[in-house]
Amino acid sequence: MFSYRHAFHAGNHADVLKHLCQMLLLEKLCNKDKAFVYIDTHAGAGLYDLTSESAQKTAEYQAGIDALTDAACHNPHIRAYLKLVEQYRKQNRYPGSPEIARRLCRAQDSLQLMEWHNNEVQQLALNFKHQKRVKVHHRDGFEGLVAITPPKPARGMVLIDPSYELETDYQVLPDTLAKAYRRWQTGIYAIWYPLLAKKRDRSQGMIEAIGRGPYSSVLDIQLSVLPQDEELGMYGSGMLIINPPWQFDQQVASLLPELTQALGQGGAGDFKVSWLAQQD
Ligand code: SAM
């Protein structure tokens, strides 16, 4: 079926950007006592051992979470994220998006975690067994998202973080998002996408498709850590946020200069925050 394993990439620059945004969104949801739901459509294994053969093969975390730790940043959001992952890093582990959500969600909140890959979902279920507020689904996260929306309670966020191993993900994602949004217009949707070499880029078309969608507010955040190559590789990544909470854009804008400084490789690195759609 699929060959993608997130263990090879855990803690890299893309995870850092994604999990920082995820943390800020969850913190906003925690500002009110009212319960919320966290939905992860492409959950992965949930928690990663950085001493494993897979993680050591690429050691991508060294230019990600480790470079950020070494940079001694002052931004309070970066410091909060580093504090959150510190206890895992001390044990040579890195928390995936489900584990970050588990840490930040409260007793009244619930987590819906979807994963399609047989081995990954087994590991995910093992990592989250005995967690009453967590439901692990072995299913296609695109189909699953539409099936469970609108969730109860109808307050919360969705993280859509595909591996983009299938070219069709770039079309299925905007279609799924539009369907889910029609059913649940008040949810926060956070979508990760890769910034790839010029000849391999498919993200731009997807971003434009989402920009033409029915959404009243869409924020686009991009972080590059390398110059863009013609042929090969991922030079950065981005997050699209539908319905970002109040002042989330300012929080992200405040942390990106230090983040770029810390993660940019060989003097490269850039960032951008822009609105594809913005409510008056
Ligand atoms: N969100 C995770 C995190 O931040 O820790 C990482 C997820 S990883 C980038 C993408 C995951 O999606 C992989 O584990 C892959 O097996 C899974 N996957 C691929 N296609 C899927 C689909 N259609 N539905 C659910 N999971 C899928």
Number of domains in the chain: 1
Mean pLDDT, to the nearest integer, of 140-158? 98
Is 1 contained in some domain?
A: no
Is 169 contained in some domain?
A: yes
Instruction: Evaluate if residue 28 carries a pLDDT over 80.
Output: yes
Q: What is this structure's pTM?
A: 0.98
Q: Determine which residue's CA is closest to atom 13 belonging to ligand 1.
A: 44
Our answer on whether the CB atom of 142 is closer than 6 Å to any ligand 1 atom is yes
Instruction: Evaluate if residue 280 carries a pLDDT over 80.
Output: no
Is 165 contained in some domain?
A: yes
- Residue range of the domain that includes 130: 6-277
Q: Are 29 and 155 in contact (CB under 8 A)?
A: yes
Give the model's pLDDT for residue 1.
Answer: 58
Tokens describing residue 60: 């991508």
Our answer on whether the CB atom of 144 is closer than 6 Å to any ligand 1 atom is no
Q: Determine which residue's CA is closest to atom 17 belonging to ligand 1.
A: 42
Element (H, E) at 273: strand 270-277
**30-58 confidence digits (pLDDT tens):** 999 999 999 999 999 999 999 999 999 99
Can you give the CATH number for the domain in which 29 is found?
Answer: 3.40.50.150
Pocket test for ligand 1, best of 5, 8, 42, 122 (most atoms within 8 A of CB): 42
Is 262 contained in some domain?
A: yes
Enzyme catalytic residues? 161
**190-247 confidence digits (pLDDT tens):** 999 999 999 999 999 999 999 999 999 999 999 999 999 999 999 999 999 999 999 9
* Contacting residues for 123 by C-beta, under 8 A, at least 6 apart: 45, 46
Is 223 contained in some domain?
A: yes
Q: How many CB atoms lie within 10 A of CB 277?
A: 16
Tokens describing residue 221: 């955040």
- Helix, strand, coil content of the chain in percent (nearest 5): 45, 20, 35
**108-123 confidence digits (pLDDT tens):** 999 999 999 999 999 9
Say how far apart CA 81 and CA 70 lie, in whole Å.
14
CA-40 nearest atom, ligand 1? 1
Our answer on whether the CB atom of 176 is closer than 6 Å to any ligand 1 atom is no
Instruction: Evaluate if residue 3 carries a pLDDT over 90.
Output: no
Our answer on whether the CB atom of 42 is closer than 6 Å to any ligand 1 atom is yes
**167-198 confidence digits (pLDDT tens):** 999 999 999 999 999 999 999 999 999 999 99
Is 197 contained in some domain?
A: yes
Is 44 contained in some domain?
A: yes
Is 106 contained in some domain?
A: yes
Q: Are 217 and 255 in contact (CB under 8 A)?
A: no
Mean pLDDT, to the nearest integer, of 127-147? 96
Give the model's pLDDT for residue 50.
Answer: 97
Say how far apart CA 84 and CA 95 lie, in whole Å.
9
For residue 279, report the distance from its CA to the centre of ligand 1, in Å. 31
